[in-house]
Amino acid sequence: MVGYCFSRKPADLKDAFMPGCVLRVSGDEFDPQEFLTSSVFNACNVFRKGERRGQTSTWSTSGFTVEVSAASGDDLAQQIKDTIEFLHVNREEIIRLNGTRGLLEIGLDFGINRRNVFVQNNYLPPELIKLAAALEIGIEISIYGEPDREG
C-alpha cells in the first residue's frame, strides 16, 4: 500500500487501499520535492529512493502520487470521467513534468474492486487512451479484494 491518498474516508476496508485513480510519478534520479515546490499538484504521497516503504521494504525510486479521482472502486466509469477532466485541466503541468530531469515513469492507476464474476472485463474509452498516450502516461488497473466465495 502506497499510502492513504483519498479525500473521503473509506466506507469499509475494501475501499481503504485504492478506491479511485491516482497519477503516480517516479524515477531513479527524480527529485519530487523540487518539482512539487513550483507545481499546481498537491501530492498525497511523496517518496524517496531508499526510504522505508513498509515494514520489510524500501522505495526503489523517488516520486509522488496525486489523487485524480476519489470515485469508489465500484465506479470505474466515474473514475474515467474524472481522469479525462484531470488530463485536460492539467495538460500543461503534465507536459512540464515530462521534461523534468530524472523522471522515468508517469502512470495512471485505476483502483477497482474485484467482482464476483467468472471474467472481470474493464473498458477504457479511446478518449482516455489518446489523452494519456499524447502525454506519455501509462495506464494500470489495480484490482483489490478477494472475490466472494460461496459455501
Cell output for 107: 502512470
Going edge to edge, which strands form the sheet with 43-47? 43-47, 62-69, 21-27, 105-113, 138-144
pLDDT tens readout for residues 99-144: 999 999 999 999 999 888 888 999 999 999 999 999 999 999 998 8
In a domain, 149, yes or no: no
Domain that holds residue 86: 18-144
| SS3 assignment, position 131 | helix
86: in domain = yes
- What's the whole-model pTM score? 0.84
pLDDT at residue number 5: 61
Q: How large is the average pLDDT for residues 37-62?
A: 91
Residue 116 within a domain: yes
Render pLDDT for 52-102 as a digit per residue (tens, 0 to 9).
888 899 889 999 999 999 999 999 999 999 999 999 999 999 999 999 999
In a domain, 115, yes or no: yes
Mean predicted confidence (pLDDT) in 141-150: 72
Q: Is residue 11 part of a domain?
A: no
Given this model, what pLDDT does residue 52 score? 87
Residue 2 in domain: no
pLDDT, averaged across the chain: 87
In a domain, 9, yes or no: no
**Residue 40 falls inside a structural domain:** yes
Strand bridging mode 138-144 / 105-113? parallel
The structural domain count of the chain equals 1
